[in-house]
A and B are shown apart, each in its own frame.
Chain A
């Protein structure tokens, strides 16, 4: 029977990655010396499973490497060795290394073994093992030798049956090795009154003529060596010397287990080769999601409801139309609306995963960085079960890493400084996630020194971002860190300040229709607050009228909507109007002009201005009227048509018409307010002129 083992690979990889994640999170939390047995057990089991699986499925590079890991863990588990920080660090490195190996194997590439071999050498040095460059091979399969006749005495102890072994099967197996002659001794069988049916009283003598080695016979009795008296003697055949004879005459002692021979890696190697030779096709990112069975059940439930409502409606449709059928029809439609909404919500829930998927990578990150910086940090994770769309989750991970790095590097002080400031030497970084309205809010808080407004201000002046005479509130100063090319660290370290600034963080978050803000108190700490829509598939939109068309403006970017006070409008340049709103100058973008529609209201005092904000800049969009606010399902224009500047997508309204969703930052670019490559709106320079 041949079974294609490759069908189990995907499950193996998946569970191995899960195992590695589990190992990592346990290792990160471990305090050497205070670890409990279950923690070590969990780590051991993960390594053990990976070793077992990789061996079975022919990934020898992984199983060889895991073997040394497992051996060390086993010794720690048995108390022969104490867990030290050095071991923890080494084990963490091994987790990374294994992950790399497995990813390569998953992508059907030949893994790079350099790091693995180096780490393995370190483990072997710790274990005092001899370095084994070659994978630990097993003995060869049973080889055939010249025919011998063996005399085998097999005298089971009475309890043999209770081990689950069956002499009959062993005898049959023995018979398969060659020609067999059997004698049974039943003199030990007691009188019927004393006979225990549970016990074995029979014993046997076999004469087996076979061309197999003695080990093949030993193998058959391997499991019962303690439960029977077994002697195997050669009583025929040619012997080369007496030593061999006496050795073979010794009572069976199963040292070299033949089952080991069974596990010859030959077949596995072949398999590994086959795997390696295949072209790499897929990447390691998985496009599947795991959905809880409860979510699927509730979906099925809802579809059931929908079917019932549909049946009800079609039944009404067949009846003659009277006043009562109209009432019933209305009720049915209301029911249908209800069902559809429920179904929509639940389908969206399927894409939702707990944010712990992102949070889980931080303990390791914080550990590594704090070690590097010689800072003591405690990481607190709150709201890990808060759910978030999978796509949003994937994209928010990097900005969050950046913010956390920043908090560790710039926010938290070194222990001495903390003690001097009367604080706990151990700094705290807290990640908190919660739902608020249709948004998810992620907070990254540290109890460090807070943003240094003076330094930020100075830097902004040096970089020409603000003028030296400008008076800014501390919040406004803090906002400056999101400006391009800003790094608050006095020296660029390898932790943060890798040339990727906070402006990139903000831009990435805005690309998700989200926002990021900072609040900070000197000496107390700072908090970064990320606000994101729960999903990218649905957006809260403000419907606006432009000529005879309906456009949608994302609600999250709207600051306010107002009627224009014509006396506060000034014209700058050739054709740009700006509105003086409180202390700001808001450029007015005429949507009808940008999208080239005829018949819109052109008089500024008869229209409405929707003030929106993007990339820190406010602009006013001129619209004829504000319509409803509603959730809209985003349809990609690129997928269905082509990319259109100033438009981020489309949706279908209740009446079946297509409505376009305005892309604010694209619009600003399109309108020519921003010079290519410049981060500043042209109008802000004009603004000072008209002032």
Chain B
């Protein structure tokens, strides 16, 4: 079973993402902010990380940069959840090592469709 780390400070988004992925047969771990995600990611491996950008304590861009520098996450798909207005965020995210992005708002089907680009 593929393991996914879902990071979002909003409980409802986290639940929605987590629920969707679990239903699609993924093993999902949830984290509330970048720093929590980073410490979880250091303890166990994941096949993909999906992270929100705006979060307290550590934001998504920093998380992606930190993760990409870890040997275990050199090739791991790191996706960010962003709003359509955040075009410069996409560039910033890519520079930090993001694989791609999912544009908010999205529904469960869209999430899974986008995920297919990096996990099969």
Of B56, B97, B103, B118, the residue contacting A166 (CB under 8 A) is B118
Judge whether A53 and B103 touch: CB under 8 Å: no
Given that A5-B107, A70-B85, A262-B103 are contacting pairs, would A169 and B16 also be in contact in the complex, using a CB cutoff of 8 Å? Answer: no
Within 8 A of A (CB), among B54-112: 54-56, 68, 74-78, 81, 83-85, 94, 97-110, 112
Judge whether B54 and A3 touch: CB under 8 Å: no
Within 8 A of B (CB), among A583-637: none
Q: How far is the CB of B91 from chain A (nearest CB, A)?
A: 9
Within 8 A of B (CB), among A121-166: 138, 161-166
Which of A43-51, A244-252, A476-484, A542-550 lines the interface with chain B? A43-51
Given that A1-B23, A15-B12, A164-B99 are contacting pairs, would A262 and B120 also be in contact in the complex, using a CB cutoff of 8 Å? Answer: no
Judge whether A260 and B13 touch: CB under 8 Å: no
Interface residue? A358 (CB, 8 A)? no
Q: How far is the CA of A76 from the CA of B44 in the complex (A)?
A: 39
Given that A52-B83, A67-B85 are contacting pairs, would A164 and B107 also be in contact in the complex, using a CB cutoff of 8 Å? Answer: no
Identify the closest chain A residue to B77 (Cβ).
Answer: A164
Which A residues lie within 8 Å of B94 (CB)?
A: 163, 223, 226
Of B19, B116, B118, B120, the residue contacting A164 (CB under 8 A) is B118
Q: How far is the CA of A260 from the CA of B97 in the complex (A)?
A: 22
Which B residues lie within 8 Å of A56 (CB)?
A: 12-13, 16, 104-107
Judge whether B54 and A48 touch: CB under 8 Å: yes
Q: How far is the CB of B74 from chain A (nearest CB, A)?
A: 6
Judge whether A267 and B107 touch: CB under 8 Å: yes
Judge whether B117 and A162 touch: CB under 8 Å: no
Q: How far is the CA of A1 from the CA of B10 in the complex (A)?
A: 23
Which B residues lie within 8 Å of A260 (CB)?
A: 84, 103
Q: How far is the CB of A533 from chain B (nearest CB, A)?
A: 35
Which A residues lie within 8 Å of B84 (CB)?
A: 138, 260, 263
Judge whether B13 and A52 touch: CB under 8 Å: yes
Q: How far is the CA of A41 from the CA of B55 in the complex (A)?
A: 9
Q: How far is the CA of A54 from the CA of B98 in the complex (A)?
A: 25
Q: How far is the CB of A65 from chain B (nearest CB, A)?
A: 14
Which B residues lie within 8 Å of A44 (CB)?
A: 54
Identify the closest chain A residue to B64 (Cβ).
Answer: A164
Judge whether B56 and A263 touch: CB under 8 Å: no
Interface residue? A170 (CB, 8 A)? yes
Judge whether A263 and B103 touch: CB under 8 Å: yes
Interface residue? A63 (CB, 8 A)? yes
Q: How far is the CB of A104 from chain B (nearest CB, A)?
A: 18
Which B residues lie within 8 Å of A222 (CB)?
A: 100
Which A residues lie within 8 Å of B24 (CB)?
A: 1
Interface residue? B29 (CB, 8 A)? no
Which B residues lie within 8 Å of A8 (CB)?
A: 12, 15-16, 19
Q: How far is the CA of A45 from the CA of B52 in the complex (A)?
A: 11
Given that A162-B75, A163-B94, A263-B110 are contacting pairs, would A52 and B116 also be in contact in the complex, using a CB cutoff of 8 Å? Answer: no
Judge whether B10 and A15 touch: CB under 8 Å: yes
Q: How far is the CA of A169 from the CA of B76 in the complex (A)?
A: 14
Identify the closest chain B residue to A173 (Cβ).
Answer: B117
Which B residues lie within 8 Å of A166 (CB)?
A: 77, 118
Q: How far is the CA of A44 from the CA of B89 in the complex (A)?
A: 15
Q: How far is the CA of A53 from the CA of B10 in the complex (A)?
A: 8
Q: How far is the CB of B62 from chain A (nearest CB, A)?
A: 13
**Chain B 1-19 near chain A by CB (<8 Å), digits 1 or 0:** 0000000011111011001
Judge whether A45 and B106 touch: CB under 8 Å: no
Q: How far is the CB of A629 from chain B (nearest CB, A)?
A: 47
Of A55, A165, A198, the residue contacting B77 (CB under 8 A) is A165
Of B55, B74, B99, the residue contacting A45 (CB under 8 A) is B55
Identify the closest chain A residue to B119 (Cβ).
Answer: A169
Given that A8-B15, A52-B83, A173-B117 are contacting pairs, would A259 and B75 also be in contact in the complex, using a CB cutoff of 8 Å? Answer: no
Q: How far is the CB of B56 from chain A (nearest CB, A)?
A: 6
Q: How far is the CA of A138 from the CA of B107 in the complex (A)?
A: 14
Which B residues lie within 8 Å of A9 (CB)?
A: 12
Judge whether A169 and B118 touch: CB under 8 Å: yes
Q: How far is the CB of A141 from chain B (nearest CB, A)?
A: 11
Given that A165-B99, A263-B84 are contacting pairs, would A15 and B105 also be in contact in the complex, using a CB cutoff of 8 Å? Answer: no
Within 8 A of B (CB), among A1-27: 1-3, 5, 7-9, 11-12, 14-15
Q: How far is the CA of A591 from the CA of B109 in the complex (A)?
A: 73
Most chain B C-beta atoms within 10 Å of own C-beta, residue among A52, A54, A164? A164
Q: How far is the CB of A679 from chain B (nearest CB, A)?
A: 51
Judge whether B105 and A163 touch: CB under 8 Å: no
Which A residues lie within 8 Å of B74 (CB)?
A: 162, 198
Which A residues lie within 8 Å of B13 (CB)?
A: 49, 52-53, 56
Q: How far is the CB of A272 from chain B (nearest CB, A)?
A: 12
Q: How far is the CA of A437 from the CA of B23 in the complex (A)?
A: 53
Which A residues lie within 8 Å of B107 (CB)?
A: 5, 56, 267-268
Which A residues lie within 8 Å of B54 (CB)?
A: 44-45, 48-49
Interface residue? A183 (CB, 8 A)? no
Q: How far is the CB of A169 from chain B (nearest CB, A)?
A: 6
Interface residue? A381 (CB, 8 A)? no
Q: How far is the CB of A163 from chain B (nearest CB, A)?
A: 5
Within 8 A of B (CB), among A77-101: none
- 18 additional contacts (CB under 8 A) given A162-B97, A163-B98: A1-B23, A1-B108, A3-B108, A9-B12, A11-B15, A41-B56, A45-B54, A48-B54, A49-B9, A53-B10, A56-B107, A162-B68, A172-B120, A173-B116, A198-B74, A223-B101, A257-B103, A262-B113
Query: Could you list 23 examples of A-B contacts with CB < 8 Å?
Result: A1-B112, A8-B12, A9-B12, A11-B15, A12-B12, A41-B56, A51-B83, A52-B83, A57-B16, A63-B105, A74-B85, A161-B75, A162-B68, A163-B94, A163-B97, A164-B98, A165-B99, A165-B100, A172-B120, A222-B100, A223-B99, A263-B105, A268-B107
The 8 A-B residue pairs with the shortest CB-CB distance, nearest first, are: A55-B105, A164-B99, A223-B100, A12-B12, A164-B77, A56-B105, A11-B12, A49-B10
Q: Which residues of A are at the interface with B, using a C-beta cutoff of 8 A?
A: 1-3, 5, 7-9, 11-12, 14-15, 41-42, 44-45, 48-49, 51-57, 63, 67, 70-71, 74, 138, 161-166, 169-170, 172-173, 198, 220, 222-223, 226, 257, 259-260, 262-263, 267-268
